[in-house]
Amino acid sequence: MSASDNMALIKGALDLDPWLEPYSNALISRQLQFRKWMEQLEQAEGSLSKFATSYEKYGVHANKDTKEIDAVLYIPDVDSVSLVGEFNDWNADSHKLNRVNDFGLWQLTIPPVNGNFAIPHDSTYKIMMVLPSGDRIYRLDPWVTRATPNKETNLYEGRFWNPEHEYKFKNSRPKIASHDGLKIYEAHVGISSPDPKIASYKEFLENTLPVIHQLGYNTIQLMAIMEHAYYASFGYQVTNFFAISSRYGTPDELKELIDHAHSLGIRVLLDVVHSHSSKNVDDGLNNFNGTDHYLFHGGGKGNHDLWDSRLFNYSNYETLRFLLSNLKFFVDVYNFDGYRFDGVTSMLYTHHGLGYGFSGNYNEYFNPDLVDNDAITYLMLAHELLNEISKRENNFKFISIAEDVSGMPTLCLPVNEGGVGFDYRLSMAIPDMWIKILKHLSDDEWDLGNIVFTLTNRRHGEKCISYCESHDQALVGDKTIAFWLMDKEMYTNMSILSPYTDVVSRGIALHKMIRLMTFALGGEGYLNFEGNEFGHPEWLDFPREGNGESYHYARRQFNLIKDDLLRYKFLFNFDAAMIHLDTKYGILDSSQAYVSLKHEGDKVCVFERNGLLFIFNFHPTQSFPDYKVGVETPGEYQIVLNSDAEDFGGFSRIEETTADGKKLSFFTNPDPWNNRANSLFTYIPSRTALVLQLKDKVVN
């Protein structure tokens, strides 16, 4: 390719950010490496999509037509491979695989027995290998789609999942309205019950999905779905990448859950962990064929010291087959609508972000000694794969979100514009900011300028998901926002039968305001971790040796919002009203807000976004009876959200209707204020947020 052709590969990125021009060579290098892989895969496999459909061939599969069982496995550096299990009394000599080539491919076809499959459905099996040393080792099939714990050993064992009748999806993937922003409910099936136990897929469908639908979230991000032997790892130490967690139920039950979510117009994202793998040997991938480099880097490069896990070798052909097939498997088989990629920062850099403070200097993102271009190429291939699948599925837009703290430029630009391909990145600085404020500052020390800067500090043209707190802030050792605000009184003063205390009234007011400000100002999408919307009163801690294997904190107390005598319902009601505000007015999927006022003395912040006027009074004691605010568009405005309303646990200090029962209106006058063409006067009580809209655009 010519120099001009190379520059064309990254034109979109340079047009958006001319400051990237000095790093053109690094950006072009990524594009050329990606295209080299694409050419290689197209020549060898037919297409990227066919390459990623290897899950249909690799592993152990049943042929429904012939009743044969086919086994295909990539296992280099061994002398022989056998399939053993209950079906052959674990006899290593009866079902040996044949060596297909010198690169480690093995194959076996098992004919039917008495007209039936030779391996019974749900029976256990393993892969037995003879090493060059003569030693025999037994491992789980890397492509196994079902794994369950052995009650005697507590080790997971692979199962041949081949039900006679599989679940058939009834509903197509939901199309989301063009103005509707991405509103994510981050959820963990196992903890989705008030009872101290592991909840099931069926219970989540019956009990939690209706709550999510009532709140108005249009997307669920399911955590800890890929099988993980250690429950307390929160799903981030994956042992079996193609198996879904058996703790919660069967594959068909997960399919039914996703299908039902689709019937409600809710998309479902998988929290995918391709940044590392569990170190487990007996029921994981580690040391699978007796070496330390099966799909992983060998030696120290293949270990993540902080996470105590293994690191994939993204330059390895079969590693790419495994991981890309894994993505397509969950889209094709389970109908997931996209992914939240965990640990992207660890993938992007050779230092994995450990002890590295990102300053925003572009040299940090394009230094060849710091950046892992093989991992970046894998992520580009992953997004090209999603694009190919999208074309197959009537241009359905699959969603991808990066958990990246570094802020790497072009991460959230399309591949054909010179980017890595993600749709969104998580705004990870926002929850850290809120926790630091609540932990270290008194109310009169809040710096509105810093708050607004942190909420709006994102790369132009690259979308972000804002959030106040995710599962990270709920884990034991930290505190949720509700806990930071009200932990001293959450067990004693949350009943409406008790008078409002200063702690609880402050906590409820600020909980709502923090959420609304983050929601409206912080990004092009929004995320909430389940239970936090109503101020869940306890942290999250999974059963482990350190807590006596207790499930007491590995649950979500949805029963609290059903009790009319408790104040949790007020926070729940407000969250629903806030989420529906976007459904009505399209706040998230619109241009960034224009902030017209950050008054440090009054603690008042005013901004406009997509025609809505947001007014926040964070002052702990001072209410303002006739506060002048600027607004660009003239007209008659009405309140569409009032955090001080009685339904939201407020004090109803604003009369939203006039004496004759009409809705209260605010009229602008052509008096410019704070760089806006018009202004209006309104009463804003202390610790209150108001949202106003032009009367003729109000949606009931």
Active site residues: 342, 403
Longest CA span, the chain: 92
**Token pair belonging to 681:** 């006067």
Q: Which whole-number Å values give the CA distances from 367 to 280, 350, 371, 411, 428, in the listed order?
A: 33, 10, 6, 15, 23
End-to-end CA distance of the chain: 57
CA distance linking residue 250 with residue 257, whole number of Å: 11
For residue 416, which of 2, 50, 31 has the smallest C-alpha distance? 31
Say how far apart CA 582 and CA 145 lie, in whole Å.
39
CB 479 within 8 A of CB 539: yes
Q: In sequence order, what are the residues at sequence separation of 6 or more whose Cβ sits closer than 8 angstroms to the Cβ of residue 239?
A: 140, 147, 156, 227, 228, 229, 277, 278, 280, 283, 284, 285
- Rounded CA gap, 476 and 484, in Å? 13
Are the C-beta atoms of residues 541 and 477 closer than 8 Å to each other?
no
Q: Rounded CA gap, 553 and 202, in Å?
A: 21
d(CA 321, CA 52): 6
Helical spans, DSSP H, in 46-91: 48-51
CA distance 340 to 333: 18
| Both tokens assigned to 216 | 């108005």
188 sits in which H/E element: strand 182-188
Rounded to 5°, angle at Cα 285 from 284 and 286:
100
Burial class (CB in 10 A: 0-12, 13-18, 19+), 369: exposed
In DSSP terms, which residues pair with 636 in a beta bridge? 667
Distance CA 643, CA 556 (A): 25
SS3 state of residue 256: helix
| Cα–Cα distance measured from residue 523 to residue 591, given in angstroms and rounded to the nearest whole number | 10
521: part of which helix (H) or strand (E)?
A: helix 502-521
Q: Are 636 and 692 in contact (CB under 8 A)?
A: no
- The H-or-E segment that residue 210 falls in is helix 209-215
CA-CA distance, 574 to 571, in Å (whole number)?
5
* DSSP result, 573-620: HHHHHHHHHHHHH--TTSPPPEEEEEETTTTEEEEEETTEEEEEE--S
Complete DSSP assignment for 467-495: -S--HHHHBBTB--HHHHHHTTTTTTS-B
